[in-house]
Amino acid sequence: MLKKFILKTQKKFEKYATKDNSIIKSIYTTCLTVLRPVYFSNEFLLMNGLKKNSKSSQQSVIFFTVQKSASTFIKKTIAALIGKEKVEHIRLTAYLTPKKQEKYYNDPVFMKKVLKKKGFFYGAFKALYPFPDLQKFKVILVLRDPRDVLTSSYFSTLFNHPLTAIDMINKRKKFSDYPIDQYVLELAPELKSRYKEYCESLIGNENVLFLKYEEMVADFRTWLQKLVNYLDLGDKQNIIEELTQVNSFKVKQEDKKSFVRNITPGDHKNKLKPETISTLNELFKNELIKLNYSI
């Protein structure tokens, strides 16, 4: 009940966060910082060594992806498939600021205490980090065409992403005057490095299930069954049927201010200049080939 109240109140006031009134902005961000441990109570307890070990025998799951690849939806889907009685979902990336993520995620000694091997579902992580004993976890990697990721990121940053943290507020201000091609080309090198690491370090490993965003959109039922088989969940036909029925993956009309703006693969072809696409094709050439995306 308290978490729902915090979320509802935050949504009412976030529209004032981008205004020039520094006092309102300061109060808003301070409140978010103070209330974060309350909203993310399990994450707070785990990060501070206060979380008990799980009694579940289910092997813990770690979910890797990149931005604008339906990570929130996929997190909920994985959690629904496994069931709350088997794993507890830990949302460290939502709880920690980007600065703290870099600090803790790159500290294998600390993360060894946080990443428990039974009964937890961790994700989504938007980059590959030196997590210890990764081979002892069930790892799920979901990627989307990086050119579509960059295109979608532009609309998210400028128009529809909730302003729930100071870093997003600053991003919207920084890129407010950027045309889409300039934005995409500026962010492309960083995304390239993330795809390169995923391709070199995760894909092909026995404990890693690689799934594509586009496959989820095209054939959700088969995509779900791959998850069920990999996680050794047994007969999940009822939940697969339920999830398939309520998720159509259709957007009637594109709205740049909508969180679900456009899910159609290849959207970058409609939004970016040919020369921009050519630059991206060359930059991501190795990854596009390995992930079987057309160039």
**Domain co-membership, 3 together with 118:** no
Once rounded to an integer, what is the mean pLDDT over residues 270-281? 95
- 46 in any annotated domain: no
pLDDT digits (tens, 9 = 90+) for 206-225: 999 999 999 999 899 999 99
**Residue 66 pLDDT:** 97
- 280 in any annotated domain: yes
**Domain co-membership, 75 together with 135:** yes
pTM of this prediction? 0.83
Cis ω on the peptide bond leading into residue 165 (within 30° of 0)?
no
Q: Give the ranges where the chain is alpha helix by DSSP (H).
A: 2-13, 22-39, 41-47, 71-82, 92-95, 98-105, 108-114, 146-155, 166-174, 180-201, 213-218, 220-230, 237-246, 268-271, 274-283, 285-290
Whether 199 has a pLDDT exceeding 70, the answer reads yes
- 295 in any annotated domain: no
The answer to whether the beta carbons of residues 106 and 130 sit under 8 Å apart is yes
Whether 161 has a pLDDT exceeding 60, the answer reads no
**Residue 31 pLDDT:** 58
Residues 6+ apart with CB under 8 A from 43: 90, 91, 92, 94, 95, 96
- 197 in any annotated domain: yes
Range of the domain at 174: 53-290
The total number of structural domains in the chain stands at 2
The single-letter code of the amino acid at 242 is E
**Domain co-membership, 175 together with 31:** no
**Domain co-membership, 92 together with 10:** no
**Domain co-membership, 100 together with 34:** no
Looking up residue 157, the CATH number of its domain turns out to be 3.40.50.300
**Domain co-membership, 62 together with 102:** yes
- 44 in any annotated domain: no
> How many Å apart are CA 227 and CA 237, to the nearest integer?
12
> How many Å apart are CA 137 and CA 32, to the nearest integer?
32
> How many Å apart are CA 85 and CA 164, to the nearest integer?
30
Q: Is 292 left (phi over 0), alpha (psi -120 to 50) or beta?
A: left
The more confident residue out of 52 and 101 is 101
Name the band, by pLDDT with cuts 50, 70 and 90, for residue 243.
Answer: very high
**Domain co-membership, 91 together with 235:** yes
- 106 in any annotated domain: yes
**Sheet strand arrangement including 138-143:** 88-90, 120-125, 61-64, 138-143, 208-212
- 35 in any annotated domain: yes
Q: How far is CA 241 from the centre of its chain?
A: 24
**Domain co-membership, 147 together with 19:** no
**Domain co-membership, 139 together with 240:** yes
Name the band, by pLDDT with cuts 50, 70 and 90, for residue 247.
Answer: confident
**Domain co-membership, 29 together with 60:** no
Once rounded to an integer, what is the mean pLDDT over residues 255-261? 44
Average pLDDT of every residue of the chain: 84
pLDDT digits (tens, 9 = 90+) for 96-119: 988 999 999 999 999 999 999 999
**Domain co-membership, 129 together with 24:** no
Name the band, by pLDDT with cuts 50, 70 and 90, for residue 237.
Answer: very high
**Domain co-membership, 198 together with 234:** yes
Name the band, by pLDDT with cuts 50, 70 and 90, for residue 127.
Answer: very high
